[in-house]
Amino acid sequence: MGATINRLNRPGYENRSVNRSENLSEKMPRNPSRYEAPYYERTEPTTVPVVLTIAGSDSGGGAGIEADIKTFTSLGVFGTVALTAVTAQNTTGVPGVYVLDPDFVVAQVDAVATDFTIGAAKTGMLANSAIIEAVAGVVKRHSIPNLVVDPVMVSKSRVPLMEEEARRTLVSTLLPLATVITPNIPEAEAILGMNITTTAEARLAARKLRDLGPRWVVVKGGHLEGETGYAGYAVDIAFNGEEFIELSARRYATPNTHGTGCTFSSAIAAYLALGLGVREALCSAKDYITWAIANSLSLGHGCGPTNHFYFRGHK
Ligand SMILES: Nc1ncnc2c1ncn2[C@@H]1O[C@H](COP(=O)(O)OP(=O)(O)OP(=O)(O)O)[C@@H](O)[C@H]1O
Ligand SMILES: [Mg+2]
């Protein structure tokens, strides 16, 4: 008998459980010499939006391109990849980083962009200035729409994932091309050289970051805990130059938040590719990351990953 996992029971949402009681091995003949799969009716023409992630690999599977692809798959878009770096990584740390050649990053984007119509793209770990410049160049050359820039600088385990000077290159070349940027608090502080300890300061930071050229800024509040009036909530500040949106969710007391940033930014890209406007994409992505944290997985010996699957909550 299998177990029933993941009950989602919130007002306005489908109550969905995933039942694994079906015992597949019982249906299998013993020692078959031939097995024929069922005939499935074709559903052509079938197509889904294509989304590109330009980011590093996390061998632990909870962050990086692995988190991106899982998010894309869960949200029903087709994920493609331009890998920038390979990390030896797990839930406790990052023992190794191997950075790829910028020309090879460009070759991957060229290969994808000349074959598919890309609906949206996201960037994650870009490692160094040469890769950032190369990525900015190839994004412009292919006029890739709906670019979400997650300015990844350090891992959850506090290992630097971007060289110092690369931050300046990121600001001057890539941020101006972005539809949305999604710095966390330490990244916003590093880019702006200011301290952010309150939601009011996060709003000020969002304003200053918007001046650097992106259409929308989301200053993520995962690292901003315990402020009066916001205690118990994870609040992100979105700003487009005219209006602020507070993206708020109940804060879960869990150590399993490995890859929250990658998952959130790739969900934004997925929803943009699915045709939502930026406001709706941000709210839907907030919903998805909240669900993924609420159902996060106790795997490994450190910060476990979020749960990317079985999200069917959006109406
Ligand atoms: N404990 C939590 N409960 C609910 N939401 C959270 C929690 N921690 C983070 N979030 C939300 O997750 C999203 C990602 O934010 P976060 O600040 O964790 O990103 P990050 O630091 O870039 O993550 P990463 O370390 O994976 O790169 C935001 O929407 C944030 O509000
Ligand atoms: Mg991050």
Per-residue pLDDT tens for 235-271?
Answer: 999 999 999 999 999 999 999 999 999 999 999 999 9
- The average pLDDT across 69-88 equals 97
Query: Which residues are close to ligand 2, an ion, with C-beta < 5 A?
Result: 261
Give the model confidence (pLDDT) of 115-134 as tens digits: 999 999 999 999 999 999 99
Positions annotated as catalytic residues are: 220, 257, 259-262
- Number of Cβ within 10 Å of residue 58's Cβ equals 27
Cα 178 to the center of its chain, rounded Å: 15
Q: Which ligand is nearest to the CA of 62?
A: 1
249 ligand 1 Cβ < 6 A: yes
Q: What is the pLDDT of residue 278?
A: 98
pLDDT confidence bin for 18, thresholds 50/70/90: very low
> CATH code for 50-294?
3.40.1190.20
- Residue 242 gets which letter from DSSP? S
Question: What value does the mean pLDDT take over residues 193-199?
Answer: 93
Give the residue-averaged pLDDT of 57-68: 98
As given in the structure block, the two tokens for residue 196 are 């952010």
pLDDT for 44: 77
What local confidence, expressed as pLDDT, does residue 176 receive?
Answer: 98
Pick the residue whose CA is nearest to atom 18 on ligand 1. 222
Residue 220 CB less than 6 A away from ligand 1: yes
Which of 257, 282, 283, 306 most suits a substitution to test ligand 1, by most atoms within 8 Å of the C-beta?
257
Asked if pLDDT for residue 6 goes beyond 70, the answer is: no
Please give the pLDDT value at position 255: 94
User: Does residue 288 carry a pLDDT above 80?
Assistant: yes
Query: What are the boundaries of each domain within the chain?
Result: 50-294
Q: What pLDDT is stored for residue 312 in this prediction?
A: 62
H-helix segments, the chain: 24-27, 64-75, 102-113, 129-141, 164-169, 185-192, 199-210, 260-273, 278-294
Strands of 147-149's sheet in order across: 96-99, 78-88, 50-58, 118-123, 147-149, 180-181, 216-219, 233-239, 244-250
Given this model, what pLDDT does residue 315 score? Answer: 34
